[in-house]
Amino acid sequence: MDLTVDPLKPVGEAWPHRGYAWWVVIALMIAYAFSIVDRTALGLLVQPIEADLHISDTLMGLLQGTAFALFYAVLGLPLGLLADRINRRRLITAGIAVWSAATMACGLASGFVGLFAARLGVGAGEATLSPAGASLIADYFPAEERPKAYGVYAVGTSIGGGMAFLLGGAAIAVAGHLRLTAPGVFGDLASWKIVFLIIGAPGLLISLIFALSVREPIRRGRGQIVGKASFAPLFAQLSKERLVYASLILGAVFNATCIYAVVSWFPTLMIRGDGLAPARVGQLLGTFGTPCGVISCIGSGWLAAWLEKRGRPDASVLVALGGTLWFTVMGVGAALVHGWVLRLAGYCLLSLAINCCTVSTFTALNRITPNELRGQIIAVFSLCTGLFSLTVGPFSVGFLSDHVFGHQGGIGKALASVLAVSGILGVLLYSLGRPRYRELSAVA
């Protein structure tokens, strides 16, 4: 049968047509990119939101981390269970629409409580993407090709981060123009509110494109699912290999704590510490940081595949471990140097490893997990990063800035402290589980 006619219909054990499979990865990458935009654009708007709503760095840390993380984490596991049992394409489509609408709702919030509630909605929608998306990729590509596929998928984080800075900076300028040219519509809205309306709207179109162009693949190597939905098989799998799962997930959690701390507060560090305008910071970080992040995504996937072909079954964990160490050292340096040129250079260097752990952890977890549990295991990963990384990373920097290092000048020292502690713990945890992962992946 010609797979170009029906790219998902299997012939024996044939995999879907390669061209179509890569399109699905690209579609997931685009969705991932817009999720990052909607998640992180708040980092460019810290100053105007704090001034308008009269809130502190600590409360701003709650908005950037905790408000998003609550539903993102809590809903992740039940959504992961759904991803293992129902149509994943429909689940992702609904999630894109929900988080996009919630982002626009941020622009209609009239106070801290309303903005907090809208951020909960953003987290709820985005909780659908990684469990279902990672499971989809595993059914489109054989094991030896998945590191590359996950690497391309993770490019969405870098493109999204760059878009958040570039589009956020541009949207700030556009918002001011709209208030002048259409005062009857936008005159009563603060510029930061208009920014949320602008960046949230494209996601509604993305959800429609995803629904029309992506098809659900067959589930390969799947065990039989009988009876009512239950987390018992998941808990049995986690208990059986508790060391390797704990090391992979918690190692990634501490690395993600570093990442969310940087994404949430590095723009503010350049605005306060270097005296740059928000739009200028967005332009610099988006223009120079994004290519480095793309290199991180693609390079880490290709590096892991290259190492594995040369007899290193623990390649994914090695890449994650090395990436965590690099990110930590470069991040601490970037937080403590003086002058925007050196700080920007440090940001570019840390961005070379910003996605290593996401790519490597997705690959490793799917490598050692049965098909019928893959959505749930990625949901556990999202649950842990949501409850801890997304909460502790942004909040701890804001708290240390307010109460330990001094509000205006303390962001750099607070950020460096969080990166140093979290990064070291991440390296230790990855090292702890590497021997057992090597044994499991050798026979997976």
Q: What is the spatial distance between Cα 242 and Cα 323, in angstroms, rounded to a whole number? A: 23
CB 327 within 8 A of CB 258: yes
CB 61 within 8 A of CB 394: yes
CB 125 within 8 A of CB 31: no
* pTM value surpassing 0.85: no
Domains identified in the chain and CATH numbers: 18-214+234-443 (1.20.1250.20)
Residue 6: which residues within 8 A CB-CB, separation 6 or more? none
Please report, rounded to a whole number, the percentage of residues in the chain having pLDDT higher than 70. 92
How many Cα atoms sit within 13 Å of 285 on the Cβ side? 39
Buried b (16+ CB within 10 A) or exposed e, 383-421: bbbbbbbbbbbbbbbbbbbbeebeeeebbbbbbbbbbbe
For CA atoms 147, 257, 328, 380, give the dihedral sign: negative
Neighbours of 231 (CB within 10 A): 15
Q: What are the distances in angstroms from CA 159 to CA 35, 53, 54, 216, 372?
A: 11, 30, 32, 25, 31
Supply the pLDDT for residue 250: 95
Supply the pLDDT for residue 212: 94
- Residue numbers of the chain with a pLDDT score lower than 70: 1-13, 176, 184-187, 221-229, 407-409, 444
Closest CA to 102 of 204, 12, 189: 204
For CA atoms 280, 283, 286, 292, give the dihedral sign: negative
Supply the pLDDT for residue 7: 44
- Region of 186 on the Ramachandran plot (φ > 0 left; ψ -120 to 50 alpha; else beta): alpha
Closest CA to 40 of 325, 206, 282: 282
DSSP 8-state class, residue 188: T
Backbone angles phi, psi at 273, to 5 degrees: -75, -30
Neighbours of 242 (CB within 10 A): 12
Closest CA to 437 of 347, 363, 346, 382: 363
Supply the pLDDT for residue 325: 95
Supply the pLDDT for residue 226: 45
